[in-house]
Structures are given as structure tokens and as C-alpha cells.
Amino acid sequence: WPVYAPYVAAINRLKAERGAVILAHNYQTPEIFHCVADIVGDSLQLAKEAGKVDADIIVQCGVHFMAETSKLLNPEKTVLIPDMKAGCSLSESITGADVRLLRERYPGVPVVTYVNTSAEVKAETDICCTSSNAVQVVESFGVDTVLCIPDEYLAQNVAAQTDVKILTWKGHCEVHERFTAEELQAYKDADPEIEIIAHPECPTDVVEMADYAGSTAGMINYVRDQRPPKVLLVTECSMASNIQSEVPEVEFVKPCNLCPHMKRITLPKILDSLCEMKEEVTVDPAIAERARRAVERMVNLTN
Ligand code: 13P
Ligand code: SF4
């Protein structure tokens, strides 16, 4: 990719000079994922790695809640995000005040919050979860009812795998809610050999059609291990592009949907971020401690 080469060289030079580390989510574009990232992964992996890094500066190539999570686990480090507007429809679907109202409505019911939420929301909850550990987290309380917020579809997909009664919220991922069982059926009808792998943020009828459902890292591992001849990754477009070179024999069948928030992060913005040390992500100390506790409980449970 010659067009990217000057940016890649400049970013990697500046990264070394500044003593910075780049954490990139699996939905970042291939030139970020392959050429400048030090650590790549799903939300859980990035949360865990954020707590282990030695560097003084973290550049988070992902969306805002991911950078906040890194800041929560590394309060003494500088956490930068190349575009402060990189949000998330799930994170924006709920506020701390909403969670307080839910607690009034369901007194005594533990609240599990998906990691795709603001620090303000995490601070109001008992523990975080990601798509790869949600069932384990929900069952860790040993009670019969748990609130699992804010993703309605993730909650329904968890409910299908546990006896715990799951109450939820009406948040949705704007990328995954667009996939339909009808469109997947059309691909299956055209080619019955095709394997379908879906993210649990998809509607339940989509997940039910999948040969495998899991976090972005789970999906990558499935393709790496199983090497299906033809696979449809029901998730964000960059996933297939990022792993294609590792599994050249696998044919990736699209449709895929772009996450406009993830796509706000680009090489020029990463370079700017390192040059000018911007945009710095901070978390109000009044909420940071409680939010950190919710993330750490999850990390400790899944270690
Ligand atoms: P993962 O935790 O599976 O990486 O998912 C994060 C996300 O934003 C999916 O839309
Ligand atoms: Fe949020 Fe969906 Fe984008 Fe993930 S893909 S960051 S859940 S909007």
C-alpha cells in the first residue's frame, strides 16, 4: 500500500520517540491493524492489555468507550484518541441516570453492563461484560434474575444460553441490527456450503442461523482454526479484510456493514494525535473509581 507508507513510517517513528503504544480494535482498517498497531484484539483483550502496557502513552484506535476503559485501567497514563467523535450507538443509548432508575424499578437485581458503555454508566453498575464472557458474568451472581444492559440483542442471545432470567434495555448496535435472517437465508440458498459466523450484537434470528457466534476475537479464531472454504462474517467490514492475508484459502462472502464511528480513525489522524498529543481522554475522578471497579471485576473473573 504505497499511499500509506509515509504515514506508517512517520507514525512508527513518532511512536518510538514518544514511548507510545497503539491499541487497535479488530474493526480498524487493515493499514492500521497490520502496519501501526502494537496490540490488536476484541474489547476484552484490549481492556486486559491496556492494564499491562509499560508505555506512558496509549493511542486508542477504536471508539471512545474503549479509550475510556484504557484510561480507567491506567489512570496515570496519557490516553489519546485520534478522533474524539468516534462514538457508539450502544454506548449512547443509555445514561447513568437511566441505570439509577432501573435500580429503583428492580431493587436488588444485579446490573451487568456491556463494555460498550460510558464510564458514567459503568460507575452505576456491578460488573462489566463483553460478548465473549457475558454468560459467565451473568451466571457469576448465582441469582435467578440479572439486568444485562444496554444491548437488547446481546441480552436475548445470552438468555438463550442460560437459565438466569435476563432483563434488558432497548439499545442496539447500528451496524449489527441491520443484518436480517432473510438476507442470510438468500446467501445460504445460493450456496448451502457457506458457513455463517455472527456477532452476538445481531438480532436473535440472525444468531440462530449462525454456525458460530462470538466476539470479534472469537470469530477470528474460528476462521483461523476451522479454515471454512467459504464464510460469511456477519459483522463489520474490516474483519474479513484484516484476516484475509492470514487465511488466503478462505473465501469471504460479504455483506458487511461499516461502523462509521470506527472508520473515523485514520492514519493521518493517528499521526496528528501523536504529533500534537491530542485528543486526551479523561474520566471524572468522581466516577472513575466505581467504573474501574466494574471493569476490574470482569477482568478478574475472566482471568
Ligand atoms: P467485541 O468485544 O466482540 O470486539 O465487540 C466490540 C464491538 O464494538 C462490536 O461491535
Ligand atoms: Fe458500537 Fe456497533 Fe460500532 Fe461496535 S460496531 S462500535 S457496537 S456502533
pLDDT for residue 256: 81
| Residue in this structure with the C-alpha cell 474520566, named with its chain if needed | 283
What's the gap in Å between 173 CA and the centre of ligand 2? 5
pLDDT for residue 254: 78
Two domains, one topology: 2-87+263-282 and 91-171? yes
Please check the confidence at residue 31 and state whether its pLDDT lies above 90: yes
* Average pLDDT score, the chain: 95
Q: Does domain 2-87+263-282 have CATH number 3.30.950.10?
A: no
Per-residue confidence band for 47, with pLDDT thresholds at 50, 70 and 90: confident
Instruction: Please state the atom number of ligand 1 nearest to the C-alpha of residue 262.
Output: 8
Q: Supply the residue whose CA is at minimum distance from atom 2 of ligand 2.
A: 173
Per-residue confidence band for 209, with pLDDT thresholds at 50, 70 and 90: very high
Per-residue confidence band for 40, with pLDDT thresholds at 50, 70 and 90: very high
Ligand nearest to the CA of 200: 1
Q: Domain boundaries in the chain? A: 2-87+263-282, 91-171, 176-258
- For the Cβ of 42 lying below 6 angstroms from any atom of ligand 1, the answer is yes
CATH topology of domain 91-171: Rossmann fold (3.40.50)
The secondary element (H helix, E strand) that includes residue 276 is: helix 267-276
pLDDT for residue 3: 85
pLDDT for residue 283: 97
What's the gap in Å between 17 CA and the centre of ligand 2? 32
Of the chain, the percentage scoring pLDDT greater than 70 comes to 100
Distances, alpha carbon 190 to alpha carbons 184, 185, 193, 253, in Å: 10, 9, 9, 12
- For the Cβ of 28 lying below 6 angstroms from any atom of ligand 1, the answer is no
Please check the confidence at residue 302 and state whether its pLDDT lies above 90: no
Per-residue confidence band for 32, with pLDDT thresholds at 50, 70 and 90: very high
What is this model's ipTM? 0.98
Ligand nearest to the CA of 173: 2
Q: Supply the residue whose CA is at minimum distance from atom 3 of ligand 1.
A: 215
Mean pLDDT, range 260-280, rounded to an integer: 97
pLDDT tens track for 50-95: 888 889 999 999 999 999 999 999 999 999 999 999 999 999 999 9
Which residues fall in the annotated binding site?
A: 25, 43, 88, 114-116, 131, 173, 199-201, 216, 259
How large is the angle between the packed helices 267-276 and 5-18, nearest 10 degrees? 30
What's the gap in Å between 8 CA and the centre of ligand 1? 25
Distance spanning both ends of the chain, measured CA to CA? 38
Mean pLDDT, range 47-52, rounded to an integer: 86
The number of C-alpha atoms within 13 Å of 117 and in the hemisphere containing its C-beta is 32
The secondary element (H helix, E strand) that includes residue 98 is: helix 96-105
Q: Supply the residue whose CA is at minimum distance from atom 7 of ligand 2.
A: 173
- For the Cβ of 273 lying below 6 angstroms from any atom of ligand 1, the answer is no
pLDDT for residue 51: 83
Positive or negative CA dihedral for 148, 149, 152, 157?
negative
Which residues fall in the annotated binding site for [4Fe-4S] cluster?
A: 88, 173, 259
- For the Cβ of 265 lying below 6 angstroms from any atom of ligand 2, the answer is no
pLDDT tens track for 291-300: 999 999 999 9
Mean pLDDT, range 153-159, rounded to an integer: 98
Q: Does domain 176-258 have CATH number 3.40.50.10800?
A: yes
What's the gap in Å between 13 CA and the centre of ligand 2? 30
Please check the confidence at residue 228 and state whether its pLDDT lies above 80: yes
- For the Cβ of 261 lying below 6 angstroms from any atom of ligand 2, the answer is yes
The number of C-alpha atoms within 13 Å of 269 and in the hemisphere containing its C-beta is 19
Distances, alpha carbon 165 to alpha carbons 138, 148, 151, 161, 260, in Å: 10, 10, 15, 11, 33
Q: Are 40 and 19 in contact (CB under 8 A)?
A: no
pLDDT tens track for 182-207: 999 999 999 999 999 999 999 999 99
